[in-house]
Structure 1
């Protein structure tokens, strides 16, 4: 049994790193308004089409010593880091959820969040094409889970309210203070749709705490000033990861206190 689990975990990491390679394409092309399917992967410097051997996640980067095979242009390490991080996320989800619909659901969620949050970091924009994709997948998984587990209306509303309430809180903050951005409302809606009400509240609180701590570090390190805009999308993604990892235990601890 342990052998099968080990194979599954290794397979999950490999699949995650392959997905991470595709996410790199999405992060690079979506802000440019380019297709994520065509043309095939190529070097942005010399435009040579990359062969399959150039596209093996993590391994190709190591063997090519971080440079294009054809023009020797340096390849940013961020690409291999995204592949590795996505692989780790898929591995952790496999350990937590095993072979299940939840594994597929949360693997999809984090793939979307990686794309959305990293585009947000690089461009300060959140694209409707990515958030609409997240909402569509969230509804598909909710319906699939409802069919498999015989949900009644109350259970569907648990996830719908998990999307609406955190998104509504962010919208209220925007209307009252003018801070944050409407794209953050969309990201909260997506995460809440996948998480459900209780974990979405944990996600929102964790996002604010993580955002405050990282912002303070950036300001203290003079990387940012108080007047600089710091994208909130990555903090929502980290808050979502925190909620999945620790949310249930935190809620149980809190209920025991009261």
Structure 2
């Protein structure tokens, strides 16, 4: 939840081109600096009843929601991945997923300041995840990661060239990062993760149109569905792909 508290800062400041380090957190209404005891994840928001201590301005419920969701996702990631060298890599994926999803919903952008450095960070963490003491590095997993990144990037590039209005550059850049993770897990994870993004995004678009909240030309943020699809690919991609192959053969 502490990480989630920091992600709230990232979500607010990065799209505005501001530093996530300085100045210290302050109320956006009265600019009063937030003291440490008013910055305890979830608890402070509940104690203050969702208002600034100084000016009583409302504090969005999204702040404690992001903190709580991040904490739960960290616990879930530890349960799925286990206490292995792969855990830091996937905790990082969870962190950028929460931040990017919230930013894309807010401003329909996936900032380069988060996406581009993630290639290097994810690469280093996945190399660490591929290392087993006494056995060395699993080069097959790293080759799959590189191939997965290239394959997913190429897929999104083709889609962007065919239909530029339907695929943003941010989505294209993010695809390579997600391909790293999905490829590292396995080919089944890559296939399921890629397909799930379009399936979920398409279903969401249909729901919006049926509800009268969107038309055929309405721009819908696709980043959250890419990220959710990747999560499904990591968690259930391999067993789901194996099941499909069994029934198909």
Q: Secondary structure at the match of 1:187?
A: helix
Deviation for aligned residue 1:219: 1.6
Q: Does 1:173 align with 2:147?
A: no
CA distance in 2, matches of 1:250, 1:174: 28
Pairing partner for 1:112 from 78, 86, 96: 96
Partner residue in 1 for 2:14:
30
Q: Does 1:239 align with 2:219?
A: no
Check the 8 A contact 1:66/1:75 in 2, yes or no.
yes
Identify if the C-alpha distance between structure 1 residues 201 and 154 changes in structure 2 by more than 3 Å, giving closer, same or farther: same
CA distance in 2, matches of 1:99, 1:254: 29
CA distance in 2, matches of 1:200, 1:127: 24
Pairing partner for 1:164 from 150, 158, 162: 150
CA distance in 2, matches of 1:194, 1:217: 29
1:192-207 equivalences under 5 Å are: 192-196=179-183, 198=187, 199-207=189-197
Q: Does 1:189 align with 2:176?
A: yes
Partner residue in 2 for 1:253:
243
Partner residue in 1 for 2:210:
220
Unaligned runs of 5+ in 2: none
Q: Does 1:134 align with 2:124?
A: no
Paired residues, number:
242
Partner residue in 2 for 1:45:
29
Unaligned runs of 5+ in 1: 1-16
Check the 8 A contact 2:89/2:129 in 1, yes or no.
no
TM-score, with normalisation over the residues of structure 2?
A: 0.92
CA distance in 1, matches of 2:110, 2:75: 27
Check the 8 A contact 1:163/1:200 in 2, yes or no.
no
Q: Secondary structure at the match of 1:225?
A: coil
TM-score, with normalisation over the residues of structure 1?
A: 0.89
Q: Secondary structure at the match of 2:50?
A: coil
Deviation for aligned residue 1:201: 2.0
CA distance in 1, matches of 2:205, 2:138: 42
